[in-house]
Copies of this chain bind each other. A is one copy, B any other.
């Protein structure tokens, strides 16, 4: 099986690593002259971490190639994964080209975190959304939207992913709507000087982040409701919904001062 990776940034590189280490051949196309170096960096990380998730050996890895152009990359591909920047004009151009060049039976998928399939093309090109999560080679979730998701789900399960079919086309699918909510509130907390980025990360990773890695939001709340369960929880915490517990009803302005504050607070690691 062969995957064509169109766009070799953090997400495209992660897809390349996941396919390769699960035995697929991979062809990458990215006009960035640094793409090859960057993808090898992601691949080194994946080789060091992905095998530790399994108690069985992974299949022999496929071969990795870098194509000089888009048409060469998608030749003979079974799966085409587009991970170019989130600009609609660019997505439209790329998907017109992919539909024209890819084999008729190939699945063409977009990594878009925000756009529904119907927005990704202005000329009827075929594309479904397969939205992964960074690092793509480790996190199992992939949100699927559009036609042909059943076949896509089987293929992605085969490379160790957990497909979640989204019932309705909606901007930002499911997970990124939740992330956007947290992100906005976190930006307010930083902007208002309530917490630093490191303190917010601590509040997550030492608390509800640990719960959510196990069971998500509703299940933890059902348990929090004690013996009376979810109805009790909703009765107890429902009223707080309308209390001024957040600044969500406003969108924070990401001005230069806030960007600088966040960037300056965000240098946690030594790398």
Contacts and interface: CB of A to CB of B under 8 A. Distances in A.
Interface residues of A, number: 98
A17 B81 CA distance: 50
B205 A212 contact: yes
A249 B249 contact: yes
A71 interface: no
Contact of A203 (B175, B192, B238): B175
Given A208-B133, A213-B210, A249-B248, A178 B167 contact: no
B226 A254 contact: no
B245 A259 contact: no
A211 B195 CA distance: 20
A265 B224 contact: no
- Give the oligomeric copy count: 2
A182 interface: yes
A208 B204 CA distance: 11
A162 B202 contact: yes
Contact of A205 (B143, B214, B221): B214
A182 B178 contact: yes
A96 interface: no
A114 interface: yes
A100 interface: no
Interface string A183-199: 11111010011110111
A227 B219 CA distance: 36
A127 to B, nearest CB: 20
Given A134-B223, A202-B216, A222-B268, A166 B194 contact: yes
Interface in A53-100: 85-86
Given A178-B200, A229-B266, A205 B215 contact: yes
B262 A203 contact: no
A259 B243 contact: no
Interface in A153-169: 162, 164, 166-168
Interface in A221-251: 221-227, 229-231, 234, 236, 238, 240-246, 248-251
Nearest to A134: B224
Nearest 9 pairs between A and B by C-beta?
A201-B216, A209-B212, A141-B207, A213-B213, A197-B218, A141-B206, A181-B181, A204-B216, A172-B245
14 contacts: A10-B226, A38-B227, A86-B236, A114-B243, A139-B207, A143-B203, A162-B202, A172-B245, A180-B248, A184-B248, A205-B216, A218-B265, A222-B268, A234-B259
